[in-house]
Amino acid sequence: MLLRWSLPIEIYIVNNDEIQTCYKVKFEYKNMEGVVEFISEFAGQKIRNDKTRFSYYITKNIQFTIEDKPDSENISQLIEDRKKLTKTMFKLTNRVIRNLRVHGIIPHLHELVVMDENYDDFLFDSLTPKFSFDNVNWKNVSDLRISILNNLSRYPNDLVKRDSNYLFSMDYIHWEKVREQIIADNPIPTELDLYLNSIEHLRTKNYRLSVLESVIGLEVALTGFLREYLKNRKKFTKKKIDDFLKPEFGLSARLSGLLDLTINPQSLEKVNLETVKSVVNWRNKIVHSIGQIPEGVSEQQIEDGIEQVLMLLIILHNKKNIVHDFPDTIISPLV
């Protein structure tokens, strides 16, 4: 038996390399096999500032299909249990949204959030689940005893909300990473979540929150990198690492004293550490004294500073992964 539902959404995919109108991901969930299809259509071409032309496609619908593995009856059990079915659709839909946001770099895209006890009914109707025995003839699962049409006004018109000023768009170069992570369903690293939050606030000029999210993300990324480095390259015990990275050894001190000892200078060529430390100082002012970015700092300074912090955050995130994947490299003490 097969189960299918659809998420109405608009995502623009920039793709210069090939004409492709269906992006497909196969995955497993419990004792079922699943397929997610981004059903797209050609939407036009535009010209970048450097005069190069690019094509873009619009996805108006993400279609989910799950199928029982041999000798399994999970689908029939789900159909008989409306609450469990809704929970499964909610979970798998958010699995895709979550990885699209983080690995497709779509800051304004957010997971579905349960609003109240009646939201399950709204979600169920909006996703329009269907079932089939032959993948040809499909029947609606919906058989509501109580109509919820009169209550729809309490919910947004679209399941996936967005600020009207920002389209959901993704460059095709990110697609393979999105596909891999939908399959793997790995937890989203905290620093990447904070990275996307900071970009979202930066685009809407909510500078205070962007500074806070970026610096917290930087701190998480730096601490994660240092823990991996000290464990795998220096063979420190956990207790020794904890003693070394005590809270008293703050972010500014770690930035000043440890990056040169652990990271290849070429990796940091484009990072202005003094600018990064200025943003850390703004964060400290916001949290510990004046509650806002100090007066006299221009919007351009703020935007440039946050971009420097985010650049370093991504470098540290990538270096953490390198040390984790290659713990015993002894070519150089620097990553």
In the chain, domain spans: 2-184, 190-325
Determine the average pLDDT of the residues in 130-158.
67
Tokens 């200078």 -> residue: 265
At residue 303, does pLDDT exceed 70?
yes
Read off the pLDDT of residues 201-242 as tens digits, 9 standing for 90 and up: 999 999 999 999 999 999 999 999 999 999 999 999 999 999
Position 146 scores a pLDDT of 40
Determine the average pLDDT of the residues in 110-139.
88
Position 331 scores a pLDDT of 59
How far apart CA 157 and CA 160 sit, in angstroms, is 9
Determine the average pLDDT of the residues in 267-285.
96
Determine the average pLDDT of the residues in 64-77.
92
Specify the pTM.
0.89
How far apart CA 141 and CA 125 sit, in angstroms, is 10
User: How many residues does the structure list for the chain?
Assistant: 335
How far apart CA 252 and CA 93 sit, in angstroms, is 40
How far apart CA 30 and CA 185 sit, in angstroms, is 12
Q: C-alpha angle with apex 300: 191 to 264, nearest 5 degrees?
A: 45
Amino acid letter, 62: I
At residue 150, does pLDDT exceed 50?
no
Model confidence at 164, pLDDT cuts 50, 70, 90, reads low
Tokens 């299918």 -> residue: 4
Q: Higher pLDDT residue, 8 or 117?
A: 8
Q: What is the mean pLDDT of the chain?
A: 89
Other CB atoms within 10 A of residue 200 CB: 21
Position 145 scores a pLDDT of 40
Position 144 scores a pLDDT of 42
Determine the average pLDDT of the residues in 53-70.
91
Model confidence at 20, pLDDT cuts 50, 70, 90, reads low
Which residues make Cβ contacts (< 8 Å) with residue 135, sequence separation at least 6?
Answer: 2
How far apart CA 333 and CA 196 sit, in angstroms, is 31
